[in-house]
Amino acid sequence: MLLGAVMGLLALSCLLRAEAAGTSALADASAATGRRMFFGDASLQGAIVGHPEALPPRLAACANCHEGAGLAAASFGPRLNGTRLTEMRGRRGGPPSAFSPASFCQMLRTGVDPASILITRQMPRYTLDDNQCLGLWHYLTETSDVGSN
């Protein structure tokens, strides 16, 4: 009886450990995909509001505006990292707010930020699935310093 319970616990702890390892492998893979999308090595579908045609992949890459080495002026978009995205701060004149994975995905798709303020049209709107935007989220929040300003 006791032995059975001990064996059961052991099996459970092995299972939990395997699951934890699996989860972190998934997060790593997704951050790596996010990085590729951020720098334009994996394509993203984005468009400027009011323009029916999609941006060329080179221009849709986040790094184009959020990283100094991009094609656009170095300081066009703000530096994006875990601190910037997840700390409570006033954004675009709104009340303090912080991004969650869900509000980050919503912002990329619709332009509506966590304080329900519409971001400028300089920031493209993206058509992406949950894996793609969570990959970007993991990459940005797990990387200490992305961008130029």
Backbone angles phi, psi at 112, to 5 degrees: -85, 120
The residue behind tokens 């001990």 is: 6
3-state secondary structure 49-96: CCCCCCCCHHHHCCHHHHCCCCCCCCCCCCCCCHHHHHCCEECCCCCE
136 lines the binding site for ligand HEC (CB under 6 A)? yes
Minimum CB separation from ligand HEC for residue 31, in Å?
Answer: 13
Instruction: Name the β-bridge partners of 126.
Output: 46
123 lines the binding site for ligand HEC (CB under 6 A)? yes
134 lines the binding site for ligand HEC (CB under 6 A)? no
Minimum CB separation from ligand HEC for residue 23, in Å?
Answer: 23
66 lines the binding site for ligand HEC (CB under 6 A)? yes
Binding track, positions 77-96, relative to ligand HEC; x by CB under 6 A: xx-x---x------xx----
Q: Which of 78, 76, 79 is nearest to 59 (CA)?
A: 76
Question: Looking only at residues 3 through 32 of this chain, which bind ligand HEC when binding is defined by CB under 6 A?
Answer: none
Residue 54: how many CB atoms within 10 A of its CB? 17
Which residue, 27 or 43, has its beta carbon nearer to ligand HEC?
Answer: 43
Minimum CB separation from ligand HEC for residue 46, in Å?
Answer: 6
Burial class (CB in 10 A: 0-12, 13-18, 19+), 128: middle
62 lines the binding site for ligand HEC (CB under 6 A)? yes
What does the binding site for ligand HEC look like in residue numbers (CB under 6 A)?
Answer: 44, 60, 62, 64-66, 76-78, 80, 84, 91-92, 107-108, 113, 119-120, 122-124, 126, 136
